[in-house]
Amino acid sequence: MAVAAVEAPMQGTIVSVDVRPGDLVHAGQQLLVIESMKMEHVIAADEGGEVSEIVVSAGQTVYPGDVLMRLHPSVGGTNRRDDDVGYRQPAAERGDLAEVVERHAATRDERRPDAVDRRRQSGQRTARQNVEDLCDPGSFVEYGPLVIAAQRRRRSVDDLIARTPADGLVGGIGSVNGHRTIVMSYDYTVLAGTQGLQNHRKKDRLFELAERLRLPIVFFTEGGGGRPGDTDGAGVSGLDRLAFALFGGLSGLVPLVGVNSGYCFAGNAAILGCCDVVIATANSNIGMGGPAMIEGGGLGVFEPTEIGPMSVQAANGVVDIAVADEAEAVAVAKRYLSYFQGRSHRWDCVDQSGLRNVIPENRLRAYDVRTVIETLADSDSVLELRPGFGPGMVTAFIRVEGRPLGLIANNPTHLGGAIDADGADKAARFMQLCDAFDLPILFLADTPGIMVGPEAEKTALVRHVSRMFVTGASLTVPFFTIVLRKGYGLGAQAMAGGSFKAPLFTVAWPTGEFGGMGLEGAVKLGFRRELDAIDDEAEREKVFDEMVARMYEHGKALNTATYFEIDDVIDPADSRRWISTALESAPPPPARIGKKRPCVDTW
């Protein structure tokens, strides 16, 4: 049998010769090691045999093709290889891998029982528990878990590893409802959830990924704002940090969801305020300055619970959705994102004939417009935003036949449905949000018009209400208007993008009534001289009522439709059919590379 030569595959230096003449070797066994360009390369036997001659020794330089040793292939060798199943021996745990595993384990909740216990005592979850609950099982990949606070000049590395895992910010990419999402959470158990040097750099990294990958962000924002205790950076104020510019730049590009539980002050509150939607638990306190900043400004001494409680922030519109606790907050965040994740193919709805009797026959009787919304929408598909702010206007996400859309409705239980400054702000901002992310809009109009009076004008009503006109005129998504009852004046036009001919359709229910202004006001203004000429008060009131009745007959929906000022008067039970037809008829939104709108107004 011919002797097989083992040749050098490269130029290098022999590091070690691992066999001796006469040894029996098997295929794949290490014969020697060559170092080339600072890398060691194992030379193994191609087949089994007996080592008959070794030509080289350690320290010798060899060149490609040089003979290193010779083997008798057929003598007692075996062709089984080291990697053959059944031959490989279980490897001992590598030291480098064990070190990595241990460092990751140190960041987990189970290794931090004191921190976890503090959260339990406050009735709250840990950052990782919220992230795990939000993300689909096993989908979260964390960025920067081994980061520690930039305080090496004042604390030992071991102490920082133990007490500042992830520098107080857990962040990465996971799936929510089956869709990739960037999920981030300040960790209040680490330096009160403050924003440190590395913490900021991690935010920058994830914000840039959100822009590059077009991924929505869910951010749990609990924490105390900027951190003064970091020592390892060079600088004075830290005002050149990019996080706020990067995060603000994402507005209108990807959905931004802010979730808060507990204290949220200063920089953390700024992040929260940039979000499209703010979901906050009952124990939240949210403010642009915490107790130390307020006291430092000479403004008094306050407990953190006195600053921006939910009783304030839900009523003034800072918080869009108030929830009881973090479990509900996570569930709502998932539900909110679902409206931006496409059509649901499983849906049902209640019997639509119920809509025929929701509006009272008495045209002056108030009713709950939310009953209309819940009946009209797919079952369990309504998510209302800012219910405690601008109560004269209802803004909500709904689904019709599984399709997501935004809904804006007048609320006749507040000022008869008249549009005031807060209601206009609420509606205009919601229009921007829907338009930015290609959600069609349904307007449900029942308004006597825009609010009037000296007190109303003190709220800068002229400017605030006009937001509905300029925003409505800029919409690129399909929108449509159903007039439930009153459709008067500028208020009715505001609920139709500025004109009854601007929506894809404008229809009315049989209870609809229309006019350039409210009927009673129109009679008093247009027939003042005639009414003043009647001395008898009872007779004057009778004539007034007759004039109003005649104007109602002229302005009722059926008559208005004969002038083609609206597209039709419909059976309320047919409302979903009109909406579905419009949605199916509208072309799909074009693929977007960038933003449709520069940003979504934070207010």
Residues 394 and 534 in one domain: no
Rounded-to-integer distance, Cα 553 and Cα 485, Å? 14
Residue 367 lies in a domain: yes
Residue 175's pLDDT is 98
Same domain, 494 and 443: yes
Residue 399 covered by a domain: yes
Pair 316, 397 in one domain? no
Integer CA distances (angstroms), 543 to 326, 538, 556, in order: 60, 9, 20
Q: For residue 598, is pLDDT > 50?
A: yes
Question: Residue 88: inside a domain, yes or no?
Answer: no
Query: What is residue 534's predicted lDDT score, i.e. its pLDDT?
Result: 85
Side-chain-facing half-sphere of 52: CA atoms under 13 Å: 17
Domain co-membership, 296 together with 242: yes
The stretch 244-253 carries a mean pLDDT of 96
Q: Is residue 79 part of a domain?
A: no
Average pLDDT over residues 445-466: 95
Amino acid type, 153? R
The pLDDT of residue 85 is: 43
Q: Are residues 183 and 299 in the same domain?
A: yes
**140 with 188, same domain?**
yes
**Are 255 and 397 found together in one domain?**
no
- Name the domain boundary from 291, 313, 338: 338
Do the strands 403-410 and 393-400 form a parallel or antiparallel pair, or are they unpaired? antiparallel
Nearest to 392 by CA among 312, 472, 467, 491: 491
Q: Which residue has the higher pLDDT, 381 or 517?
A: 381
Whole-angstrom CA distances from 451 to 9, 416, 456, 459 are: 88, 10, 7, 11
Whether residue 87 lies inside any domain: the answer is no
Q: What is the mean pLDDT of residues 542-561?
A: 84
Helix (H, G, I), strand (E, B) or coil at 134: helix
Say which CATH number the domain at 48 has: 2.40.50.100
Could you tell me if 332 and 422 lie in one domain? no
Report which secondary-structure segment, H or E, holds 291. helix 291-296
Residue 576: CATH number of its domain = 3.90.226.10
Q: Which residues contact 471 (CB under 8 A, 6 or more apart)?
A: 428, 431, 432
Neighbours of 538 (CB within 10 A): 8
Residue 248 resides in a domain: yes
> Are 547 and 564 found together in one domain?
no
One domain for residues 120 and 257: yes
Q: Which pLDDT score is estimated for 2? A: 76
Under DSSP, the state recorded for 354 is G
Whether 386 is in a domain gets the answer yes
As a whole number of angstroms, the distance between CA 507 and CA 482 comes to 5
Whether residue 43 sits in one domain with residue 180? no
Instruction: Select from 170, 169, 150 the least CA-distant residue to 160.
Output: 150
Spatial distance between the Cα atoms of 46 and 100, rounded to a whole number of angstroms: 35
| Residues 369 and 238 reside in one and the same domain | no
Q: How far apart are CA 56 and CA 66, in angstroms?
A: 9
pLDDT beyond 60 at 276: yes
Summarize the confidence of residues 489-496 as an average pLDDT: 96
Helix (H) or strand (E) holding 248: helix 243-249
Domain range spanning residue 140?
98-338
Beta-sheet strand order (sheet of 30-36): 39-44, 30-36, 12-17, 61-62
8 Å CB contact between 215 and 176: no
Residue 86: predicted pLDDT = 43
| Residue 345 belongs to some domain of the structure | no
Number of domains in the chain: 4
pTM for the whole structure: 0.88
Whole-number pLDDT of residue 87: 45
Say whether pLDDT at 79 is over 60: no
> pLDDT tens digit string along 505-547?
999 999 999 987 777 777 777 778 888 888 888 888 888 888 7
- Mean pLDDT in the chain? 93
- What whole-number distance in Å separates Cα of residue 67 and Cα of residue 64? 9
pLDDT of residue 89: 56
Instruction: Point out the least confidently predicted range of 40-49, 230-239, 292-301.
Output: 230-239
